[in-house]
A and B are shown apart, each in its own frame.
Chain A
Amino acid sequence: MNETTPIAAGRFIGQRMPRKEDPRLLTGRGTFVDDISFPGMLHVAFVRSPIARGKITGIDLSVARGMPGVHAVYTAADLAKIKVTPLSFFLTPSEVEVPLLATDHVAYAGDPVVLIVADDRYLAEDAASVVTVDYEEEDPVVSLADARNGALVHPGTESNVSAAMGLDEDEDGEALLAGAAHLINRTVIHQRISQSPMETRGIVVSKQGAGELLVHITCQSPHMIARYLTIALGMPEYSIRVLAKDVGGSFGLKNTPWREELAVIAAALLLGRPLKWIEDRLENLISANQAREQEMTMRVGFDGQGKLLAARGEYSSNNGAYPQGADANVAVHMFMWAAYKIPYYSFYTQGWYSNTVGLAAYRGPWALESLIREAMLDIAARQLGIDPVEIRRRNLVTLADQPTATTMGIPLEDITPAECLEKLLTVLDIDAFRREQAAARQEGRHLGLGIATYIEPTGSAGSMPVMTGELAQLRVEPTGKVTATMSTHSQGHGTQTTMAQVIADRLGVPYEDVTVFEGDSAHGGFGPGAAGSRQGVIGGGASLKAAGLLQQKVKTLAAHLLNANVEDVSLEGGVIHVAGSPEMTRSLRQIAEIAYGEPARLPPGFEAGLEAQYRYTPPPMTFTSAAHGCIVEVDIETGFVKILRWISSEDCGNVINPAVVEGQIAGGLAQAIGMVLLEEAGYDARGNPIAVTFKDYLLPAISDVPDFEYVHASTPSQSEGGFRGVGEGGAIIGPPTLFNAIADALSPFGEVPLTLPLTPTRLLEVIEGRSMTSVAHAPAPVAPVVTEVAPAPVAAPAPPAAPARVDGLWKMVMASPMGGQEMKGRLATEGTTLTGTLLSDQGNQDFAGSIEGNRLKWEMKVTKPVSLTLKYDLVVEGDSISGKVKMGMFGTAKLTGERLE
């Protein structure tokens, strides 16, 4: 069943090579952050808010300060002596001020208020327990419904909307939907998820003399953390070095440091002693940023044959009080229908502040697109009387359709979801299953089959400032062994293994002879780490390129030393051969010793040593495709779901290590099973977290996860080596696959609501046709359309009543995917011609366009964040200006502004 096609050489690429990380991890010799200590190191504990929202009216630290072993007790006022600016993943300051410790009010249960430093963690927690904080409690804004209708989470903001994009009304789309033969309208409610890496957050900070800050932190890239801290601290007098050898999982949580880690750094700078803070699991479940908690309503129009005509999506996410990225998740919409032929899609997307812990990334942050789309395709198939496979066949983009572009303008050249689906059907006999299903139903057993297809953008580079290429620095050491220093970083990904495979394969040396170093910001070069399924694609490409350069260097030197033609020299298994002259065979070590130690023997102009490096930047997006199939049995007495079979048919290009690839898919699928059936990090009505231990936050155990089967398609990508990313896919395609199987099993009883998790209680409601959910925990009925708190007017096509004064200087804010972009525009009109200049921190740009009444239109090309043509369509009314800007694949952004001159 394994159809892996290794690329040409394939000595190590494409092989199930044993992982280089395993011997140390299996014997307890790994180095995780809590394994680091320094002489004189002290320990940190936090006093946290027990309420979700309130004013701090008093803090009594006197008892804590007097306890033996306590070295410091800091409040926000103390830490304010060190200026730290928390940044988003894009390294931009937050929209709202993010304090390291709560200042005059608390904004969620778990909000850190006081930082204690003591000889050990036991004493620090003792001291934390005797700090008295007085609060004046207020009604919290907990749910999305609260955020829409309740008090402001951050006084001073206009509304609880942290970010918004798209069109809140869309007449063109409404007309298309109204004309559709079949219109399906559903809402999905996705619960809040705790990433729950087995290793919680943690940091050890040591001020090394006056000028150096040494930071050990569990993270997704030490280079990213060093870059982040350099900007967040703004202390040019410090050189910052960040180390993270072994990391116990992350899944998006540890992209950047956040309040607690930054508070510990500030405290270490104040106190001048090395500090350690290791988050305990209670803290992790209440105060580490979380993910998902989304609601989305989708309307999809089909023609009479089940072909997609148009769709409209409205999305909201609960971003908490201090989100790591206050975004509205435009990627949900960018990839919503990317693999499908649909003439029209429009959306409105919003993120909301609330009195809950903030939003962070979680494996496939945009995954809701696949859940709602694939679930609705099955619902449509049932309604139209079409087979679920057939409705996908009628709508998927096939290889024969390409090159093409998605409705949002993303170029597609080699996606294969339709081909993955056909491959899946070669191992999954649907007719046989339907017979088995029918027979089982006769016995009162309810089996179901779920199918889902998707594509995923991987290996992203060059589209955003932090999403760079990756650097491989290679050396053949004087010993003949090979050392690689990589910008990649593993939190379980096994990049020390996969990069060594690629290097050994291309260079021509034994796998055992290659050692990969990563995890130290002082070595190698910048890379953002594991984010967006990128390291295999980009790190693999960098390794290939650098190994090719290094091999050429070895051959050039060997040819010179052996008086041979360079074309006759080869490097195989770490041995240098000259074609036709076996007596000239040399070990790599013999050549390397000369390269480093005998400069007089080198060819003219040859740089001594055997070193090469390459920073590889792949095409902007490399797509991975997949089709999954899953069979379940639902016990209609208990509502329990048993997964009987699960097949992954995926195309992640050339596979470096099938065992690593399958491990990534399986891990993502297990997390998908958790999302669909088990996990929920929610809040009660007062904003108290309801899952604070692993007894309440239910992670999948071995008994919850079936054996997965794999079909690898392996269509080489356009990137170096033909690799495609695979890190997030299981967590994206898994939820709809399992949901569809459960919905199919229970279809005789009715429709399964798109509300996660599908607990036995929720499924029994479907089976027994009654609601058993208590009112307190019932998800609020979702209003199909959001009640806007502060709507901005959208350009109306109606001609103006009176001529408007356009000429002058305008201040404008555009709601872009990276947050509000401020700019000024100087506009001038002559007849129907509009000219102007936009002034922003990106520079000044002139444009020309047209004016009709009070309606202005112009187009501008930009290169940041990617090459785009922005189409402005604005209306001037009095001294205000508003309208929309079409941003290609990013959809449409609103713009508002006012006259300055």
Chain B
Amino acid sequence: MSEHKIEMVLNGHSHRGAAEGRRTLCDYLRQDAGCTGVHVGCEHGVCGACTVRVDGQAVRSCLMLAVQADGCTVTTVEGLAAADGTLHPVQQAMQDEFALQCGFCTPGVVITLATLTDVPEKPSEAALLAAMSGHICRCTGYQGIRRAIRRLAGEATGERA
């Protein structure tokens, strides 16, 4: 197997490494770059847990090879909170709205919602819900995630209780 050099900006820092051509981006990020917040749930692109941001796009790191990220800017869930520990608005909304239980799917959900909301014009609730339909959460029944989405879309939460 051939080894390929990889350079990327990973969570704001320059990163250099090497990987075999067949190594997936998720395995590279977890095992070679130490970003264990990237969670691997299905390895076939359905569950969304492994979602990371590559050059501004939310991508499934289980369906991308590490070598394809050469030269890219990559953000994982570890790279979202501010240096002083202040949570990203998506993380804060999810904590406030009890949007997680076991937390395994959470990194992917956070990256997708952060990628869509880190723009000057807030996306609609419908757009965020449509994006969320590509993530599977087995614990929460999506109640808190939907409330967080309503907040992030700039609308009142739908919490009835």
Contacts and interface: CB of A to CB of B under 8 A. Distances in A.
Interface of A: 1-2, 16, 18-19, 21-30, 32, 34-35, 122, 196-200, 246-249, 251, 280-281, 491-494, 658-660, 662-663, 666-671, 693-695, 699-703, 705, 707-710, 730
Contacts of B98: 16, 19, 659-660, 662-663
B161 A702 contact: no
Contact of A18 (B36, B46, B95, B140): B95
A199 B39 contact: yes
Given A25-B106, A693-B46, A666 B143 contact: yes
A16 B104 CA distance: 22
Contacts of B143: 662-663, 666, 705, 707-708
B95 A246 contact: no
A281 B46 CA distance: 11
B100 A22 contact: yes
29 contacts: A16-B98, A18-B95, A19-B95, A19-B98, A22-B100, A25-B102, A26-B91, A26-B100, A28-B78, A32-B39, A34-B40, A197-B102, A197-B138, A198-B47, A199-B41, A199-B102, A246-B103, A247-B102, A492-B103, A659-B98, A659-B144, A662-B161, A667-B139, A667-B141, A693-B42, A694-B42, A699-B136, A702-B135, A708-B143
Interface string B113-143: 0000000000000000100111111111111
Given A492-B102, A493-B101, A707-B160, A702 B145 contact: yes
Contacts of A281: 41-44, 47
Point out which of B104, B110, B158 has the most chain A C-beta atoms below 10 A from its C-beta.
Answer: B104
Given A249-B102, A659-B98, A198 B146 contact: no
B65 to A, nearest CB: 12
Contacts of A22: 94-95, 100, 103
Contacts of B107: 28
A702 B81 contact: no
Nearest to B92: A26
A666 B140 contact: yes
Interface of B: 20, 22-23, 30, 35-44, 46-47, 49, 76-78, 80-81, 87, 91, 94-96, 98, 100-107, 110, 129, 132-146, 158, 160-161
Contacts of A695: 44, 46
Contact of A30 (B35, B40, B49, B103): B103
A692 to B, nearest CB: 10
Given A1-B161, A27-B78, A708-B143, A701 B102 contact: no
Contacts of B106: 25-26
A287 to B, nearest CB: 15
Nearest to A664: B101
Given A25-B100, A34-B40, 19 more contacts: A26-B110, A27-B37, A27-B80, A27-B87, A28-B36, A28-B38, A32-B104, A198-B104, A491-B102, A492-B101, A662-B143, A663-B144, A667-B139, A670-B138, A694-B136, A700-B141, A701-B136, A703-B133, A707-B146
Point out which of B22, B78, B81, B142 has the most chain A C-beta atoms below 10 A from its C-beta.
Answer: B142
A700 B136 CA distance: 7
Nearest to B145: A702
Nearest to B107: A28
B interface majority secondary structure: loop
A246 B110 CA distance: 18
Contact of A198 (B20, B22, B95, B136): B136
A659 B96 CA distance: 10
Contacts of A707: 143, 146, 158, 160
Contacts of B76: 28
Contacts of B140: 663, 666-667, 670
Nearest to A31: B36
A462 B77 CA distance: 44
A27 B91 contact: yes
Contact of A693 (B44, B87, B144): B44
Point out which of B23, B81, B105, B139 has the most chain A C-beta atoms below 10 A from its C-beta.
Answer: B139
Contacts of A666: 140-143
Contacts of B146: 702, 707
A695 B145 CA distance: 22
Nearest to A701: B133
A201 to B, nearest CB: 13
Contact of A669 (B87, B94, B138, B141): B141
